Amino acid sequence: IEHLLSAADLDLESATLILDTAKEMDAAMSGREVRKLPTLRGRTVVNLFFEDSTRTRVSFEAAAKRLSADVVTFSAKGSSVSKGESLKDTALTLQAMGADAVVVRHSAAGAANRLTGWLDGSVVNAGDGTHEHPTQALLDAYTIRQRLGRLEGLRVAVVGDILHSRVARSNVALLNTFGAKVTLVAPPTLVPVGVGSWPVEVAYDFDAVLPHTDVVMMLRVQAERMNASFFPSAREYSRRYGLDGARLARLPDEAIVMHPGPMNRGMEIAASVADSPRSVIVDQVANGVLVRMAVLYLLLSGHKGGAA
């Protein structure tokens, strides 16, 4: 494995290897007083965040530290980016300080891919515009497999602001690789134009989809990426596409509820649903560290897994 840029680059073998390695990481740490492995001692991971993040940034930092790597976290706010320094010069500056892997989040689709041409080390895409967020899809797949025992044949509804969602794009690619059946549920204005070529079904009636769903994955309404014309009002959106207690009751008994965070509680998901026993949102965050440990390990240890 050299880079992780896109969930679409992962074949079934590579994706399964990452999930299995994450599980091994959990097992390897479970007997230890200090939940830390010596695996990447002497290696340096740089977190390069040009867009805001809580979960992904902290999770990659925790993952690298649990593997005993040195971690440098760079946030564009307060850096020389505000003086006009380019992505390339920023990256080269950090490389000169000795980065073995660069984890990058950027508002531009393709930013992680561009970095691979300028850096010697491995590049991990931590979200590039509306394009992809591969480690989110991997941690989601890990969580589904952990809770429901498999991915193949499961019916997954991805609900909400598909148009702006890199999480949706990465999940569609990875869930398809694992043999799950994905239905996108959204208002017509939040469905991408090219969705006809995606391996999904599209539905506009959330209530009709719920009884035939094993996993419901709610997406954040990305108000910062849209203007008022996308939907009539927050109340109307919530009425038609929000997951509240009444809709939760329409799901099959074993179905689980996911959300990548950050959540708009009361908009796409009711607080009572987010905090219900059916919700695996906290598990997603915890599993994110394990999956990112696996990705960093496979990238930096020279494991011949075959991804990307």
Choose which of 35, 55, 147, 155 interacts with ligand CP (CB under 6 A).
55
Task: Give, in order, the Cα–Cα distances in Å from 236 to each of 26, 217, 233, 242, 266.
Answer: 42, 20, 5, 9, 12
147 is in an annotated binding site: no
The answer to the question of residue 56 lying near ligand CP (CB under 6 A) is yes
- Binding residue per annotation — 261? yes
Smallest separation, CB 31 to ligand CP (Å): 30
Q: Using CB under 6 A, which of 261, 278, 283, 303 touches ligand CP?
A: 261
Does the annotation place 105 within a ligand binding site?
A: yes
Instruction: Tell me how many helices (H) and strands (E) the chain has.
Output: 11, 9
Could you tell me the sign of the dihedral formed by the alpha carbons of 96, 105, 282, 2, in that order?
Answer: negative
HSE of 232, CA atoms in CB hemisphere, 13 A: 9
Name the closest residue to ligand CP (Cβ).
56
In angstroms, the CA 298 to CA 301 distance is 6
The response to whether 65 counts as a known ligand-binding position is no
Site stretch for ligand CP (CB under 6 A), options 10-18, 54-62, 203-211, 298-306: 54-62
Query: Least distance in Å: CB of 51 to ligand CP?
Result: 8
CA distances from 44 to 64, 70, 97, 134 (A): 9, 5, 9, 21
CA distance 257 to 269: 10
- Kindly tell me which of 220 and 247 has the beta carbon lying closer to ligand CP: 220
Cα(48)–Cα(91) distance, rounded to whole angstroms? 8
| Binding positions for ligand CP, 104-133, rule CB under 6 A | 127, 133
* Residue from 262, 271, 282, 286 binding ligand CP (CB under 6 A): 262
Residues that bind ligand CP (CB under 6 A): 53-56, 127, 133, 136, 260-262
